[in-house]
Each structure stands twice: as structure tokens, then as C-alpha cells.
Amino acid sequence: MAEHNETGKAGEEIAAGYLRSKGYTILETNWRWGKNEIDIVAEEKDYLVIIEVKTRHSTDFGEPETFVTMQKQRLLIRAANSYINRYSVKKETRFDIISIVLRGKNPEIHHIPDAFYPTL
């Protein structure tokens, strides 16, 4: 496995553990629809939460969350719509980003609820 894939996988595992510790229920990890993927699908109270995880070893090129581009947001929204339709989800949906910087033994975790909204 390529190093960037290992970094991403490690970040997703850290994010899932973080979310569980905050009371979220993880429904899916790496849920795929066609070429699109949702890193984590979770429930928190009355919300279905679609979570994009961005993991880096440093912030030399910017904070990890800045790499969730408009194109990536559109792909996540499409995948989320497919998930909602497939499972007949009735809950309100929100899109979060979890940014992780792997420095030493204690990763820096930045959770951004409602990071972006679907546009019409």
C-alpha cells in the first residue's frame, strides 16, 4: 500500500475512534457509490453525518481541511444523496470534516461540524 494510502487509513481510524468517544454511531466506513467514496457515515442524535477525513503529516502546504475542494464537496453530496436514497434515510443530513495532523504520538484532531452545505 502506498504511504499516502496508509496515512489516509490511519487518519480514518483515528477519526472513527474520536467520533465514537463523542457519542456518534458509525454506520459505514469507506462507503462507495461508483467512483465516489464517503470516508465515514455516522449518526449523531437526529442527524445523518457525512464525514470527510483529511490526514497529513505536516501543515507545510496548508491545513488538511483546505484540501476539501468544491469538486470534492460535489462528489460527497452526490454520494450522500445515493446513500440517503438507497437506505431511505429520513434524518436531516450534515457534512463534517475531520482534519488530522500526525505529529508524534498525539495526532492533532480538528472536527468541523457543518463544514459545508449542499447548494441548489
Is residue 33 included in any domain, yes or no? yes
Is residue 36 included in any domain, yes or no? yes
Is residue 77 included in any domain, yes or no? yes
For the chain, the domain total comes to 1
pLDDT number for residue 2: 57
What does each C-alpha distance from 3 to 10, 57, 59, 120 come to in angstroms?
Answer: 10, 11, 17, 37
Question: Residue 28 belongs to what domain range?
Answer: 3-115
pLDDT number for residue 4: 58
Is residue 32 included in any domain, yes or no? yes
DSSP 8-state assignment for residue 65: G
10-residue block means of pLDDT along the chain (120 residues)? 71 97 98 94 97 91 91 95 96 97 90 89
Q: What is the CATH number of the domain that holds 43?
A: 3.40.1350.10
Phi-psi label, residue 81: left if phi above 0, alpha if psi -120 to 50, beta otherwise: alpha
Question: Which pTM value belongs to this model?
Answer: 0.91
From CA 10, how far away is CA 45, in angstroms rounded? 26
pLDDT number for residue 7: 79
Question: What cell does 63 get?
Answer: 491545513
pLDDT number for residue 116: 95
Is residue 120 included in any domain, yes or no? no
pLDDT number for residue 28: 97
